[in-house]
Chains A and B, each alone.
Chain A
Amino acid sequence: MTTTTQTKVTTQVYRVYIKATPQAIWDAITKPEWTERYGYGGRGEYDLRPGGKYRGLTSQAMRSTGAPDVGVDGEVIEAIPPRKLVQTFRMVMDEAMASEGFTRVTYEIGENKDGVTKLTVVHDLDGAAKLAVLMAGGMEAEGAGGGWSWILSGLKTLLETGSSLDGQQR
């Protein structure tokens, strides 16, 4: 009899291929004028050096329903433009998620091959079961957005067409 040891994995992995340069993808992740045009639509502020602060601000639409100014906070661990960004990530908008503490997000941007660049997002969600549900899209029906799949689908659409997923030129 063989025994299989069950690995307890709390990591989520997402990958998308985008018709854009690595630099364009890097900018879309790290520059507020880009981050406000897809996903949750808030401005992302990065101090792109180890130990530098990260703040994911809420969008106007979120604030109009009573959200605080900062949705996500964290710290940059490693920034190698336009290839790799490692940061901590804590959802502070929701008290229960905030109490789960910091998680770790890694963006890996591949080489441009025939005009297409591979983007991989690895979210290590150890000890953050509630945030894991949100990031996997499990709270979309409650109007909390579709998590990483939805964010990356929006990012791809924006970079490839210049429009947001809802067709608005934001």
Chain B
Amino acid sequence: MTDDDRIFKALADPTRRFLLDQLFKRDGRTLTELESELEMTRFGVMKHLRVLEEAGLVVARRSGREKLHFLNPVPIRLIHDRWINKYTEQQVSALAELKKKLEETA
């Protein structure tokens, strides 16, 4: 599996995207904090965090007695710079702008 495969696989799951969104809102959380946001066993959350760590999307670091989880946006940036930037940024941002305008007036 390539790095990109691991990233897309990690993102292809709603629970893992939810975990990333939680870290985006407030970074550097413990397993216990993340677990409290989900109807899921501790083991289930750990398993998802491991997939995210293997994809490089989450980096865990010790801080005293605690293990904190940080969102690492670099892999997503690399995909952005390598693929989206390269081919479609102008079109994508024009469409994103259009979507925003339409939704604002709706």
Segment at the A interface, from B11-19, B43-51, B73-81: B73-81
Q: How far is the CA of A12 from the CA of B56 in the complex (A)?
A: 14
Determine the chain A residues whose CB is within 8 A of the CB of B70 once the complex forms. Answer: 11-13
Q: How far is the CA of A7 from the CA of B81 in the complex (A)?
A: 33
* A7 touching B68, Cβ below 8 Å: yes
Secondary structure type dominating chain A contacts: mixed
How near does chain B come to A77, taking the closest CB pair, in angstroms?
A: 18
* B3 touching A7, Cβ below 8 Å: no
* A9 touching B27, Cβ below 8 Å: yes
Point out the residue from A9, A153, A157 that lies within 8 Å of B74, measured CB to CB: A153
Interface string of B1-41 (1 = CB under 8 A from A): 00100000000000000000000001111101100100000
Asked if A15 meets B30 with Cβ closer than 8 Å, knowing A157-B81, A165-B81, the reply is no
Q: How far is the CA of A136 from the CA of B73 in the complex (A)?
A: 9
Residues 144-164 (chain A) with a chain B CB within 8 angstroms = 146, 148-150, 152-154, 156-157
Q: How large is the interface on A (under 10, 10 to 19, 20 to 34, 35 or more residues)?
A: 20 to 34
Q: How far is the CA of A156 from the CA of B68 in the complex (A)?
A: 26
Nearest A residue (CB) for B56: A15
* B72 touching A14, Cβ below 8 Å: yes
Nearest B residue (CB) for A137: B73
Q: How far is the CA of A137 from the CA of B56 in the complex (A)?
A: 18
Determine the chain A residues whose CB is within 8 A of the CB of B26 once the complex forms. Answer: 6, 9
Q: How far is the CA of A152 from the CA of B28 in the complex (A)?
A: 20
Determine the chain A residues whose CB is within 8 A of the CB of B72 once the complex forms. Answer: 13-15
Q: A residues within 8 Å of B by Cβ?
A: 2, 4, 6-7, 9, 11-17, 120, 122, 136-137, 146, 148-150, 152-154, 156-157, 165
Q: A2-B32, A6-B33, A13-B70 are in contact. List 5 more A-B contacts (CB 8 A).
A: A4-B33, A13-B72, A14-B74, A17-B56, A154-B81
Q: B residues within 8 Å of A by Cβ?
A: 3, 26-30, 32-33, 36, 56, 59, 61, 63, 66, 68, 70, 72-74, 76-78, 81, 85
